[in-house]
Amino acid sequence: MKIYIKSPGRVNLIGEHTDYNGGFVLPCALDLSIELYFEKKLNESHVNTDLGYSMNFNVSTPYQKSNNHWENYILGVINELKQFKTELINFSCIIKSSLPSGAGISSSSALVCGLIKGLAELNAINLNNSKIINLSRNVEHKYIGLLGGIMDQFTILNARKNMAIFLDCKNLKSKFIKINFKEFKLLLLDTNVKHNLANTEYNKRVSECKKSLKVINDFCNKNYSNLSEVKDIDLRLSKNELGETLYRRVSYILKENQRVVKSVNFLENNKLKEFGQLMYQSHLGLKNDYEVSCDELDYLVEYTMKFDGIYGSRMMGGGFGGCTINLIEESLVEKFVEEAEKEYFSKFKRKLNPIVANLDQGIQMSLI
């Protein structure tokens, strides 16, 4: 008997870099996924992927972090699970993926959540979704080196087909929003600029936000627990103390939170054009104030502006590469993609990877 897990990627409609600041996000699960097949083994464990990575080990051997980045996903999950059961069972795991990695659609969290879910089942460890979310975040913080929030893991575990999750990352309260774009589609354009978030400025943004929070609390004599709680007046009062860069970072977070709330309202009332405008505004904030975009992403977002049938476009995910998310009339997709691919290649000498995103349910498990 095998345990089969299908762990999806995530798309985020709006609300970027707000999750680790206790803010709002609006993500969904993608119909592209990582599939994992687990089976018990007696003496040794094997992991094989269709990307050519493989690994042989024994679960009872204590492992430190590996120099091989990829192996840390596996070792991290095993080490974290040992706090629930010291003697884990050896296993084989075959991993197949239709999720491009480094594209900002969270292949990393899909892999970690899938490994935790499958190995917990195999070892009869009872973990609810919120435990899996926390464990997955610990693995990414400690073993992968990315100090991310919980948007991706929460979505992968809880998403529903054709729904977005309006999630308050401060208390994990959520509401499902039905998504019906009618004659419009979500189109992802993967720049093929591979971000390795852990090695980029992502963690620096996390610490800039922590620092900003301290400056505002100290200066205004407040006790805010995250940046999303900060009142405009306190941000303005602290402007000089923060300095120009940190002021822009905090302004972006406060505005992006407002955009998420407005987006929910627009989407619930089928105001797609208005939602699209917020996507463009979000991109400008990410580019100019939060500074997590790159030339390729900016070029693609700007390029969409000459098409009437595209309502909105912005970079998606952590940034520094990865993909844009576009709200585009279905009848325009083919022609637009063809032109964009040509223009993008002639400008950057890189292939553009288009993905029409359909919204699927969260992680699935079955016995086969």
Residues contributing to the site for ligand GLA (CB under 6 A): 16-17, 19-20, 106, 148-149, 151-152, 317-318
DSSP string computed for 46-70: EEEETTS-EEEE-TTS-----SSTT
Least separation in angstroms between CB 128 and ligand GLA: 20
Nearer to ligand GLA, 14 or 216 (CB): 14
What CA–CA distance (Å, rounded) separates 130 from 237?
38
Closest CA to 22 of 262, 207, 230: 230
Strands (E), 153-267: 163-168, 173-178, 184-190
> C-alpha distances in angstroms, 121 versus 10, 74, 234, 358?
23, 16, 48, 28
Let me know: does 353 contact 325? Beta carbons within 8 Å.
no
Least separation in angstroms between CB 330 and ligand GLA: 27
- Residues near 340 by beta carbon (within 8 Å), at least 6 away in sequence: 189, 300, 303, 352, 354
* Residue corresponding to tokens 């223009």: 343
| Catalytic residue check, 152 | yes
Q: Which of 19, 31, 50, 152 is catalytic?
A: 152
130, two tokens: 């919120």
Nearer to ligand GLA, 26 or 327 (CB): 26
Nearer to ligand GLA, 289 or 329 (CB): 289
Least separation in angstroms between CB 130 and ligand GLA: 16
Nearer to ligand GLA, 139 or 340 (CB): 139
The DSSP bridge partners found for residue 24 are: 168
315, two tokens: 């970079």
Least separation in angstroms between CB 89 and ligand GLA: 30
Nearer to ligand GLA, 59 or 151 (CB): 151
Least separation in angstroms between CB 108 and ligand GLA: 7
Nearer to ligand GLA, 131 or 271 (CB): 131
What CA–CA distance (Å, rounded) separates 366 from 321?
35
Residue 315: CB atoms within 10 Å = 28
- The total number of residues shown for the chain amounts to 368
322, two tokens: 């990865």
Least separation in angstroms between CB 292 and ligand GLA: 8
**Residues marked as catalytic:** 152
